């Protein structure tokens, strides 16, 4: 976990808009490509397409090089760059801005040296100014990043622990045998056990959203109904997981320990506290099986970015498949025997 959960910001998804198409703009992009912190993914023809990619989470930072960039450097000895940074994670955005500034400053020195070599005249220092624009979290408030994640954590932990101790409680007090001799079907029994905790989970989400808005003033740009729709499916994943654990344990203590074991791993590998992109490759692969990861992504996308149904569709499909599998295993593993 210590190797995966790092605060170092790496593998930053970088794109650019080159409106100049000159040797100077190409040299600047080469600087970013040579950096170990940035993954230069693609070039966009317009700011609209770059903004759309950032909305979908495909890009963390994009650089806009204006027209006549090279001409301004040669004639006016100054030029401006547009840098747009996804600042939902304010701490990471601040670090990314520092990285960009360092690369631009390095390019400044290189341009100054090149101009001095080709001319014997007195050359004024070239100045390039990068103007950062922090999207989705203009003030870089860390609470804006953390509150949706903490809300995910609370909904997950409470519903998992309650469902995990559900059937095993019946085993401890001896009432499970009495239920098994009744004509109730296994699927009906499972639904009856899960539905109350599903309602509790939705209630927790409602309370959490109210507190997030009134106390922490977290922006809620997206559709709340979409958030509730996704949460209703996600809670089924957690309830199925808890019930599956409950079927294979004999005491509430066992169920609690097992549930907590998986919860800690899921939390640390979910991107809740540290970016998944900075984890090693093997850890990033493991996160594909982490349902908390998808809930964290969807909460932040809908609340802070205003993402729509199409934007969260990949996470929704994976979560739905996860829900079917976990609840199928829960029903299969419950043995209705006397």
Residue 95: CATH number of its domain: 3.40.1710.10
Boundary-marking domain end, from 93, 108, 135: 135
Q: Where are the alpha helices (DSSP H) in 119-216?
A: 142-164, 166-173, 176-180, 186-214
Residue 52 CB coordination number (10 Å)? 14
Q: What is the rounded end-to-end Cα distance, in angstroms, of the chain?
A: 43
Report the C-alpha gap between 258 and 152 in whole angstroms. Answer: 20
Q: Do 246 and 120 belong to one domain?
A: no
Q: Do 43 and 112 belong to one domain?
A: yes
Q: Do 218 and 256 belong to one domain?
A: yes
Let me know if residue 121 belongs to a domain. Answer: yes
Let me know if residue 237 belongs to a domain. Answer: yes
pLDDT at 337: 57
Let me know if residue 6 belongs to a domain. Answer: no
Boundary-marking domain end, from 135, 154, 173: 135
* Host domain of residue 67: 12-135
Let me know if residue 2 belongs to a domain. Answer: no
pLDDT at 12: 92
pLDDT at 292: 94
Q: Do 50 and 88 belong to one domain?
A: yes
Distances (CA, A) of 124 to 74, 76, 119, 192: 10, 9, 11, 78
Angle between helices 291-300 and 313-333 (to 10 degrees): 150
Report the C-alpha gap between 207 and 151 in whole angstroms. Answer: 10
Report the C-alpha gap between 69 and 63 in whole angstroms. Answer: 13
Give the closest residue to 104 by CA, choosing from 76, 124, 132, 146.
Answer: 132
Q: Do 96 and 152 belong to one domain?
A: no
Q: Do 206 and 312 belong to one domain?
A: yes
Q: Do 202 and 123 belong to one domain?
A: no
Report the C-alpha gap between 326 and 245 in whole angstroms. Answer: 10
pLDDT at 1: 46
Q: Do 251 and 216 belong to one domain?
A: yes
pLDDT at 120: 53
At residue 203's C-alpha, the angle toward residues 251 and 260, to 5°, is 30
pLDDT at 314: 94
Q: Do 130 and 146 belong to one domain?
A: no
Q: Which segments of the chain have a pLDDT < 50?
A: 1-2, 5, 338
Find tokens 């360092």 and name the residue.
102
Sheet holding 12-18, edge to edge: 38-43, 12-18, 61-65, 78-86, 127-135
Report the C-alpha gap between 304 and 86 in whole angstroms. Answer: 11
Q: Do 241 and 200 belong to one domain?
A: yes
- Do the bridges between strand 78-86 and strand 38-43 make them parallel or antiparallel, or are there none, so unpaired? unpaired
pLDDT at 182: 78
> CA 57, 58, 62, 67 torsion: positive or negative?
negative
pLDDT at 289: 92
Write b or e for each residue in 129-154: b if 16 or more Cβ atoms lie within 10 A of its Cβ, otherwise e. ebebebbbbeebbebbbbbbbebbbe
Boundary-marking domain end, from 98, 118, 135: 135
Give tens-digit pLDDT for 87-106.
888 878 888 999 999 999 88
Q: Do 155 and 211 belong to one domain?
A: yes
Report the C-alpha gap between 273 and 333 in whole angstroms. Answer: 34
Sorted by sequence, the CB contacts under 8 Å of residue 82 that are 6+ apart come out as: 63, 64, 66, 130, 131, 133
Structural domains counted in the chain: 2
């Amino acid at each position: 976990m210590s190797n995966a959960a790092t605060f170092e910001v790496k593998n930053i998804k970088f794109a650019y808009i080159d409106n100049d198409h000159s040797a100077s703009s190409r040299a600047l992009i080469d600087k970013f490509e040579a950096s170990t912190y940035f993954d230069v993914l693609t070039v966009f023809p317009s700011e609209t397409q770059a903004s759309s990619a950032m909305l979908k989470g495909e890009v963390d930072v994009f650089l806009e090089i204006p027209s006549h960039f090279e001409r301004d450097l040669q004639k006016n000895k100054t030029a401006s760059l547009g840098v747009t940074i996804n600042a939902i994670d304010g701490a990471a955005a601040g670090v990314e801005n520092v990285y960009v500034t360092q690369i631009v400053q390095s390019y400044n020195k290189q341009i100054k040296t090149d101009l001095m070599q080709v001319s014997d005249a007195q050359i004024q220092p070239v100045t390039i100014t990068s103007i950062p624009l922090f999207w989705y979290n203009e003030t870089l408030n860390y609470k804006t990043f953390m509150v949706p994640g903490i809300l995910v954590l609370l909904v997950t932990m409470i519903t998992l622990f309650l469902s995990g101790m559900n059937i095993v409680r019946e085993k401890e007090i001896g009432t499970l045998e009495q239920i098994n001799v009744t004509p109730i079907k296994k699927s009906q029994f499972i639904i009856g056990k899960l539905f109350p905790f599903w309602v509790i989970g939705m209630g927790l989400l409602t309370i959490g959203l109210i507190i997030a808005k009134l106390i922490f003033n977290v922006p809620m740009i997206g559709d709340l109904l979409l958030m509730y729709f996704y949460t209703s499916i996600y809670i089924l994943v957690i309830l199925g997981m808890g019930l599956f654990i409950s079927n294979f344990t004999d005491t509430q203590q066992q169920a609690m320990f097992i549930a907590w074991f998986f919860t800690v791993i899921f939390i640390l590998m979910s991107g809740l506290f540290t970016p998944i992109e900075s984890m090693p490759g093997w850890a990033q692969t493991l996160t594909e099986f982490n349902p908390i990861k998808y809930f964290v992504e969807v909460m932040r996308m809908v609340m802070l970015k205003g993402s729509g149904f199409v934007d969260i569709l990949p996470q929704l499909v994976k979560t739905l498949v996860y829900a079917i599998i976990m609840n199928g295993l829960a029903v299969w593993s419950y043995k209705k025997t006397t």
